[in-house]
Structure 1
Amino acid sequence: MKMDSRKLLVFLLFTFFNFSDPPLVVSAQNVDFDFSSFTLRNFTLLGDSYLRNGVIGLTRNLGVPSSSSGTVICNAPIAFFDSESNTTASFSTRFSFSITNVNPSSYGDGLAFFLSPENETLGSPGGYLGLVNSSQLTKNRFVAVEFDTRLDPHFNDPNDNHVGLDIDSLNSMKTADPVLDENIDLKSGKSITAWIEYKNDQMKLKVFLSSSRSKPERPVLIVDIDLSEYLKELKYVGFSASTEGSTELHLIENWSFKTFGLVPAPPRLHFPPHNVSDNTVMIPPPSAVSDSGNKGHKRLGLGFGIAGPVFFCIVLSVFGYVSMKKWRGMRWEKSFKADILAGPREFSYKELKGATKGFHSSRIIGNGAFGTVYKAFFITTGTISAVKRSKHSHEGKSEFLAELSIIACLRHKNLVQLQGWCVEKGDLLLVYEFMPNGSLDKMLYQESEEGTLLKWSHRYNIIVGMASVLTYLHQECEQQVIHRDIKTSNIMLDGNFNARLGDFGLARLMDHDKSPVSTLTAGTMGYLAPEYLQYGKATEKTDVFSYGVVILEVACGRRPIEKDTDSQKMMNLVDWVWGLYSQGNILEAADKRLNREFKEEEMRKLLLVGLSCANPDCNVRPSMRRVLQILNDEAEPLLVPRMKPSLTFSLSLPLSIDDIVSDGEDHRKSLDSMCEIKI
């Protein structure tokens, strides 16, 4: 019978060293953590939640009558039950929060602390507190303490300022009014500290509230409850909040949590298989053998003594030779996996290969500088996803890690949602939710072929959505994210034509209020800011410039650089629109295919915002927050000079054009004309 080198080595190791220890059994452990401020490293943000200056916001000021819902979940699940000792843990938590009403006449709905077996569920806004989906009320399971700021008769709320215990339902088992005991108005906007304690031996849950950091003697809520049946499985802990047609803001400032009462299992002791004293060992009497026989046995023993180790070394060498290539191939995969954040699902290569028909060319839905995107059908779940397969170059690997590490931490309704990843067989794969309407550039420039036209209402909504997500990336994340490749081909459209920003392969993380690091220029010609071309420094202002070009593309239906049909010369879109504006005819830039089926005020506003963002002088470009306010009629438009400002740079670029252009042969065909673009 044949035996491969791996099995042979295992057999020999077993024979030589006799590994006979039983496996180690891991028991549930008490946990204890304390966050004086928050970081993205430890938490997952869902919905409208965000992280700013170490404080977590669960809802946003979207303006009345908009609604908002957000959730933050600690990444690591917690075991409350130890099956070996049949023990359920007690727990206690302390956190400070504030609930502020931006509009005094608008309030609701509140926030909740929860324990749940799920870590990816975002509930509905309104009275559902982000805990459950309004269309599937019985789907989500949870134990939650709610801090409710709206009287909702549908859930039998006693008033608009109460604390309650909820178990798998928003109809609280018991409620209390903190005004009566501690004179606390939950929606006062002041910092409030809460303590929640559950002691399993007493079968009691207590909630304390205070306007200071000192814990009061009396709880505002006491519930006699046995939670042991609800704590059998692993639980994720976190917070959720929601609003409905209101502007209530919910902030979590700090948080500590611990479990206690679990008894660690005693260590296992392992004894030798034969625990026998020396005086019981029987020594047989020597046999009478001839000298020649003794010499023969000595030679035979000497031969085995030499041959045994030699044979073992040979086998070991063969095993090493056979395994070396495979080990080298797997080493970088393991190093990648060690760096990947917990959260997105790890797919198997076999699963993704089957879903894309072996990465067949018929499944290709897009190509970029660092990979190909395939349409994937998962038969087992009946779902469709988009799989991005990166190239095998060193750059491809680094872009893969950049994209995964950045987007895995981000949560925004205008971002393409990352579903999972795979690093196997030398391939780098990212799995995203599928966007039925493809990319924005295809909708803009292939409409006539498909017989569809992107309506004005959809175009305006796309621009607003992009402003919202860039505001989030630039100003609302713990670390500022500079995308560096804002363009219409990286903007995806969901089934309702909402914008979803994707492709974070070129993105970079930066701490707020720090100078950008000079790097190699990356991006796509036509979208690159003048100062970025010259100095290679990516900042939020270079993203703003690219966004301004996208605005003009969407409004005008023209590419950033294209050949003029009359003069046959290459035309720069920003220059062309600014020229019409200087003549007082800016509305002439509107996409002719719209047949003037748009609101002139909106078109004018969009074109002027596009010009202000694409201003050659980076110092006068607006922030994305200001842009969002202008588009939502919350701020006055910026003054745009009639003549395009001109800047003077050195004649020599720091890099060659080939280094600057990131993808697409079409761009390289017009390099000579691009060099003539005026700044």
Structure 2
Amino acid sequence: MPPRNLLVFLLFLFPLLFTFDSPFIILAESTSFNFPFFTVRNLTLLGDSHLKNGVIGLTRETAVPSSSSGTLIYNHPIHFLDQDSNITASFSTTFSFTIDSVDPTSFGDGLTFFLSPDNQTLGSSGGYLGLANSSDLAKNKFLAIEFDTKLDTRFNDSNDNHVGLDVNSLNSIKATDALLQDIDLKSGNLITAWIVYKNDLRVLNVFLSYSTIKPPTPLLSVDIDLSGYLKGYVFVGFSASTEGSTGIHSIENWSFKTFGFLPVRPRSHPHNVSGSSVTVPSAVPASNSTNKHHKRLGLGLGIAGPAFFFVVLAVFGYVSVKKWKDMRIEKNLKAEILAGPREFSYKELYAATRGFHSSRIIGRGAFGNVYKAIFASSGCVSAVKRSKHSREGKTEFLAELSIIAGLRHKNLVQLQGWCAEKGELLLVYEFMPNGSLDTLLHQHPENGLLLTWSHRQNIAVGLASVLAYLHQECEQQVIHRDIKTSNIMLDGNFNPRLGDFGLARLMDHDKSPVSTLTAGTMGYLAPEYLQYGKATEKTDVFSYGVVILEVACGRRPIEREVNSQKMVNLIDWVWGLLGEGRIIEAADKRLKGDFNEEEMRKLLLVGLSCAHPDSAERPSIRRILQILNNEADPIAVPKMKPSLTFSCSLTVEDIVSDDEESKITQS
């Protein structure tokens, strides 16, 4: 806020502090969160629940007749009741889940989405949906939507494929057969659920679909007033259980939000006002104690008033001096980078992108969109990255930009200019005619150009070369943090150009590593980065290794098997073939054998050595470049993928592997 506006605001605020009966009014705020995939951040996993490849498994594959039970809870309690207006929030949640079993005749009992005042809700295995305790069914308090896959006469279940509403009991208030909308909960297919409660209508609706398009008609609709159950703060999450079966219950994504709180209105005046008349209470002689109280109050205000204005003036002076210093720093930084990338005007970039028209979008990312810009005056074509994040720290932005502006390498997408106007950050880069490596690598050969073996070798060497430059040859070391195929561009000759370097740091300059982590891409992130949130050159090496395997194999880091719901981790898959002596079979089948087997073997082993779970065992990027250029011998890679245990007993397999699994519990 500008200093002048701040001063006016404080001067306006001062009389208000003494006008209302209470100086502070607390406004109940809505809550929302979204997990397109899961990490261990902001979640508590209880019982047998576990994290694997960004998916939460609520139960484990156990040997019959063992049973399993698990719970996933969002760490932060949610405010459902506005104390001031006495209004209960409405809410909606969307999530995708699967219920599967390796034995079609043996299924678990189903899963639930629940709301509970307890963040340690964990029910028994067996027929209790992981929600209630077998020894005391009334112990846990909850409101739950059950997706039940077992007929249990103890709880008056109608069939083994129903959706119901449970309130503090596993006997549903109302339930509906999912087959009424052709949904088989036990199909193993990905099912998306929408649960919407509208407090003003006093109705809760549940929608189900095999697609991500919400059906027009709810499967389950219950007329119910939940205000009596959603008092104060409530935890939300999922639970599931099995009973002597091999059922696997998984949650793949989840979003949640509350809404419907009304704006807080000022407290009513103690007098009743109608027209020009004012009704006041009858006069009552004031007692001596009351007079003394008023005198003390007046004395307090007489002292507090000048003190408050002194604080206002001090704050005003501090903000003014700080702004003056920042303006000087900004001016100096602008002067430093004038010799490099130019400063574009917002008007110029707006015209070149046709007003940032959707038809000009050539890429999308966590930062925002990338637009094709054609400058009418020169006919030049560029790529403009438009941040969707507002930023007030223009000085910090320019400081980061001055570092990036000094980077020069043939395998970097060259920064041409920048713009910081109208609350937006815009970066102008070279336009890459062949787009991103991700797009070209994974498109079907019939729909476009297939990258040849020589192209892929050139990409591996070029990417290693530019990383060696960033890590070891720059005056100030640059850790990229987000190496992936969608951030590698290809020029007209299919040479790799690394882009987005430093962009995450630019955008999250003042944020913790946790914020950077949640913006990362599962499959490319090193285990220690996921665990501790600290980026080093070895985390870049890990990401490089994943990219190399992706280039050699033509497979994504994490992808679903054909005709199956199973997720396959690329690193584990290649390492498995190495252990069986068949690593060459990992080569992209679309190449049809048109490659040198020894060179392909070397590239695959380089990828595995870089993706070693233990960062200390990974080679430097300089060593990798020497190996690829036949200037050093390949690194010995163990035939079995090594396991890694962190000091907090969290293993790397919990994060990125399909092999071993271990329980994670956070509170």
Relative to the length of structure 1, the TM-score reads: 0.45
Relative to the length of structure 2, the TM-score reads: 0.46
